[in-house]
Amino acid sequence: MKIATWNINSIRARADRALGVLERHDLDVLALQEIKCKPEQFPVELFEERGYEVAAHGHNQWNGVAIVSRIGLDAVRTVFDGQPGFTKGEPANGELFIGGEPEARAIGARVDASKLGEIEIWSLYVPNGRAIDDPHYHYKLAWLGALKDYAARRLAEDPQAKIALVGDWNVIPTDADVWDVTGTGGLYLTEAERAAFFAFEEAGFVEVSREYATNYTFWDYQRLRFPKNEGMRIDFVYASPALASHVTGAEIDRDERKGKGASDHVPVIVTLS
């Protein structure tokens, strides 16, 4: 089977591209980020006509996440345990940003992978951080920390659970994952952001796309970044040990960045056997 993650940057503007990716890669599950619409605005019928179910979570033209599946969608959740909302200001006494309603940045569901059994998959749109001196940066770290705690608890409860944490992580894990380490203003690659990303390994998860694929996953629309291949790798697939053991391949669909109307991200596809 194949699962993929993709920051589509507006599902209503790129529904045809999403359908093309599903068909071209013969996907069983596609996790989307930045759908930029409310659930009732998602073009569900286009996907249902092709045998897919859709679970979507969004509030307005910002953020928003979805899961598209042809192997079922059960136990849909639109927030993970402990997910913080965004509260302006710096954290006091190390406390998380728990004020306010959580943004539409996470959606989870169970899918039935036949012989592999049930997989708990989360489509995740990690906060950008905006700038190192911005309150949103502290929110980003708190958000990642809360997600890691949730993931660690799930593994502690069931070490054999098959869990996939997929999406736009807005972190550049290594210097090799960006065309120029000085080109981001420092954001995405601070020591704290990288530590928050690699904390999932410490919790027992495995990033399963890097072994098989080495391309960037994002190129800004400005300054001819894509033709110059000045990109970043910020989209990843973290799998629990029981799921990672079934991964047999992965690819980054760089060609999806080509042509008129492309998203600034491309799909990351993982094959399970």
Please list the ranges in the chain whose pLDDT falls under 70: 89-99
CA-CA distances (angstroms) from residue 201 to 33, 124, 165, 238, 251?
A: 23, 17, 12, 9, 21
Query: Catalytic site residue 265?
Result: yes
- 229 known ligand binder: no
Given this model, what pLDDT does residue 90 score?
A: 64
Given this model, what pLDDT does residue 62 score?
A: 87
Given this model, what pLDDT does residue 215 score?
A: 96
DSSP H or E stretch at residue 143: helix 135-157
* Terminal C-alpha separation, the chain: 6
Is-contact 73 122, C-beta < 8 A?
A: no
**Residue 162 CA, distance from chain mean position:** 17
Residue whose structure tokens are 């910020």: 234
Closest CA to 267 of 27, 73, 54, 12: 27
Which token pair is 30? 């596609």
Give pLDDT tens digits for 218-244. 999 999 999 999 999 999 999 999 999
Query: Catalytic site residue 52?
Result: no
Sorted by sequence, the CB contacts under 8 Å of residue 222 that are 6+ apart come out as: none
- 34 known ligand binder: yes
Q: Which entry of 28, 168, 177, 253 is annotated as an active-site residue?
A: 168
Given this model, what pLDDT does residue 57 score?
A: 98
- 168 known ligand binder: yes
Query: Catalytic site residue 138?
Result: no
- Quote the CA–CA distance of 105 and 29 in Å, as a whole number: 18
Architecture of domain 2-272 in this structure: 4-Layer Sandwich (3.60)
Given this model, what pLDDT does residue 141 score?
A: 96
Give pLDDT tens digits for 148-196. 999 999 999 999 999 999 999 999 999 999 999 999 999 999 999 999 9
Given this model, what pLDDT does residue 209 score?
A: 98
Query: Any idea what DSSP says for residue 225?
Result: T
Is-contact 217 173, C-beta < 8 A?
A: no
Which token pair is 136? 């949103």
